[in-house]
Amino acid sequence: MKPQRFALTPGEPAGIGPDLCLLLASQAQPYPLIAITSRDLLAERATQLGVAVKLLPVSPDAFPDKPAEPGSLYVWDTPLAHQAVAGKLDKANAAFVLETLTRAGQGCLDGHFAGMITAPVHKGVINESGIAFSGHTEFLAELTNTAQVVMMLATRGLRVALVTTHLPLRDVADAITVERLERVTRILHADLQQKFGIARPRILVCGLNPHAGEGGHLGREEIDIIEPTLERLRAEGMDLRGPLPADTLFTPKYLEHCDAVLAMYHDQGLPVLKFKGFGAALNVTLGLPIIRTSVDHGTALDLAGTGRIDTGSLQVALETAYQMAETRL
């Protein structure tokens, strides 16, 4: 059996990603965890934070088989274009960020890593550099030649996947099509089985409209699109409940008996999840041939280099990636 190694990308070098990696190094890990970033960046940020971390160089020719000792961190050195200053974006380092993601993603495809965990990137500065970039999800989908992926956020006791993601609210209803809903539901169901080890996932599905359309009086998407699609998938054996009104679905009566919620749009499901799991939630990209988890927060430029950060989200992202990899063994 190949050793289970994991790649960790710190994201935007001016943000809190490098800080998170360094603080995490104080904790024992069950598997080798390799930070793909600039060794100089980590050394400088460690000095700024006043933390002592032993940076252990690794290369693709000699990846470690054993976890690093607490207080140490494996680093696959990836040079910066310019020295990074905590809190100050520099578009010259945009290509560096994408190179770390490429190394991690390709390493997963090649079997060097069992999964990858990502700290936050800054989409704006990457685009300002002249590189078109929509986000981790789209970048990894292209890298792995994956046609359709699904965003799911999770915290202890709740998983929420999205049919649509970053769309203006006025465009959401048009984007809820039979084809999209079916694709997303199939991916969610399959990954709950294959990556989370749930033999028969029970999925609660939100309606789009208030009161799930109120029998057509508040919109017909439930009648014309959502219910017929769910009924067809139920006939294949999927355990799908809904469409249910979102304002009653997110209550203990329903949530204690489900494995995931499928929300129709971003702000329908994620506010509830982030309230429940503030500081301890993560992002999982479903549908990829690799395991990828991420923190659920941004680059926090104002906190970079201060030490006033919480590693809770990154720790949950790590634990989930480990569990997913163990399930797939």
CATH number at residue 186: 3.40.718.10
Q: DSSP assignment, residue 67?
A: P
217 shares a domain with 110: no
Q: Which two tokens stand for residue 81?
A: 């274009």
Mean pLDDT, to the nearest integer, of 320-324? 96
128 shares a domain with 157: no
Domain ranges, residue 107: 6-146+289-327
Quick one: pLDDT band at residue 284, thresholds 50, 70, 90? very high
Sheet holding 115-118, edge to edge: 54-57, 72-77, 33-37, 6-9, 115-118, 292-295, 282-286, 150-155, 158-162, 260-263, 202-206, 239-244
Please indicate if the annotation marks 266 as binding a ligand. Answer: yes
For 157, left (φ over 0), alpha (ψ -120 to 50), or beta?
Answer: left
305 within domain boundaries: yes
283 within domain boundaries: no
Spatial separation of the C-alpha atoms in residues 325 and 230, rounded to whole Å: 30
Quick one: pLDDT band at residue 207, thresholds 50, 70, 90? very high
165 shares a domain with 133: no
- 188-226: burial string, b at 16+ Cβ within 10 Å, e else: bbebbeebbebeebebbbbbbbebbbeeeeebebbeebb
201 shares a domain with 127: no
Spatial separation of the C-alpha atoms in residues 27 and 71, rounded to whole Å: 7
Query: How many domains, the chain?
Result: 2
Spatial separation of the C-alpha atoms in residues 46 and 24, rounded to whole Å: 12
* pLDDT of 16 strictly over 90: yes
234 within domain boundaries: yes
59 shares a domain with 155: no
**Torsion angle, alpha carbons of 121, 17, 320, 179, to 10:** 0
8 A C-beta contact, residue 291 and residue 114? yes
Intra-chain end-to-end CA distance of the chain, in Å: 9
286 forms beta bridges with: 150
- Among residues 164, 136, 140, 168, the alpha carbon closest in space to that of 150 is found at 164
249 within domain boundaries: yes
21 shares a domain with 122: yes
46 within domain boundaries: yes
Instruction: Give the CA radius of gyration of the chain.
Output: 20
Residue 278 has a pLDDT of 86
DSSP H/E element including 240: strand 239-244
Quick one: pLDDT band at residue 328, thresholds 50, 70, 90? confident
Find where tokens 């006043």 sit: 50
Find where tokens 């979102």 sit: 246
Residue 134 has a pLDDT of 86
Phi, psi of 294 (to 5 degrees): -150, 160
142 shares a domain with 46: yes
157 shares a domain with 257: yes
How do residues 120-162 score in pLDDT, each as one tens digit? 999 999 999 999 998 898 899 999 999 999 999 999 899 999 9
Q: Which two tokens stand for residue 47?
A: 């000095």
Please indicate if the annotation marks 292 as binding a ligand. Answer: yes
8 A C-beta contact, residue 78 and residue 99? yes
Please indicate if the annotation marks 137 as binding a ligand. Answer: yes
Residue type, 230: L
Residue type, 5: R
How many CB atoms sit inside 10 A of residue 233's CB? 19
Residue 135 has a pLDDT of 87
236 shares a domain with 172: yes
Q: Which two tokens stand for residue 151?
A: 């965003």
279 within domain boundaries: no
How do residues 237-258 score in pLDDT, each as one tens digit? 999 999 999 999 999 999 998 9
The contacts of residue 137 (CB under 8 Å, 6+ apart) are: 149, 151, 165, 285
281 within domain boundaries: no
129 shares a domain with 21: yes
Residue 329 has a pLDDT of 65
Please indicate if the annotation marks 211 as binding a ligand. Answer: yes
210 within domain boundaries: yes
- Among residues 143, 264, 162, 153, the alpha carbon closest in space to that of 213 is found at 264
Helix or strand or coil: residue 225?
helix
284 forms beta bridges with: 152, 293
160 shares a domain with 125: no
How do residues 153-181 score in pLDDT, each as one tens digit? 999 899 999 999 989 999 999 999 999 99
216 shares a domain with 92: no
Please indicate if the annotation marks 189 as binding a ligand. Answer: no
How do residues 45-63 score in pLDDT, each as one tens digit? 999 999 999 999 999 998 9
How do residues 63-75 score in pLDDT, each as one tens digit? 999 999 999 999 9
